Amino acid sequence: MLTRRIIPCLDVRDGRVVKGKKFTDIVDVDDPETLGAFYSEAGADELVFYDITASSEARKISLEFIEKVATRINIPFCVGGGVKTLEDFTEILRKGADKVSINSSAVKTPDLITEASLKFGAQCVVLSMDVKKTQEGQWRVFINGGRIDTGLDALEWAVKGVELGAGELVINSIDADGMKEGYDIPLLKAITDRVGVPVIASGGAGKMADFSEAVLKADVDGVLAASVFHYREIEISTLKADMKRKGIQVRI
């Protein structure tokens, strides 16, 4: 049976972990290495760090925290935000990250997915998608921190991203982000039905049942959350015990 992953997400701005709702109302939480070490010891399976304003500010990701995090944790972690070139991939992986996430740059330069996959292996290339439902009922891909509608159909882009070489997808629902009303199950199910790589659910977790629902109803490989972990509303050990009781295989 496939072991499902619990993944805290740490949004980084100016060297600090922050959190918002629907990509706005940003508040300070902690520093990335301290919080990363806490989650590593608390039983998280992986961590994801996003430099949330790198793309919108047209600058490279801040790399200072990556080395610090790598020395403090013993679990895999992924870094994204403002990654535009193979050199960015190289630098991030050399600093100690296990995976690199691309979003805006993948849309603008799809060949980067393939080039990175060929050079570093598909397992290192994570395609992150920020998705919002339009008034017409279509799931569309947004970039630059949810600021720009690309016009891309999210389901088609997910399939294309895997064809290009992405080894994992992180699907973040902008509509659900920070709202704590549950993951976007229909969106996640539509994508897991179409691709053969791991899919990570992101955006909307508010209670323990939400995590199990995403696994049982949408067959996601991992569940990612931020505020419920940052503010200790849900403890990872308690969450894993709850998921195990529901028949979900997790690493205890």
- Residue 175 a catalytic site member: no
**Residues 161/113, Cβ–Cβ less than 8 Å:** yes
Kindly name the residue from 11, 51, 184, 221 that is annotated as catalytic. Answer: 11
* Torsion region of 240: left, alpha or beta (phi above 0 gives left; psi -120 to 50 gives alpha): alpha
For residue 232, count CB atoms less than 10 angstroms from its CB and return exposed for 0-12, middle for 13-18, buried for 19 or more: exposed
Q: Quickly count: other Cβ atoms within 10 Å of residue 118's Cβ.
A: 12
Q: What's the CA gap between 210 and 16, in Å, rounded?
A: 27
**Residue 23 DSSP symbol:** T
Kindly name the residue from 45, 51, 130, 221 that is annotated as catalytic. Answer: 130
Q: What are the CA-CA distances from residue 144 to residues 57, 111, 122, 162, 177 (Å)?
A: 9, 19, 24, 21, 15
- Residue 31 a catalytic site member: no
186: phi then psi, degrees, rounded to nearest 5: -60, -40
Q: Which amino acid is at 26?
A: I
- CA pseudo-torsion sign 128, 169, 88, 114: negative
Just list the catalytic residues: 11, 130
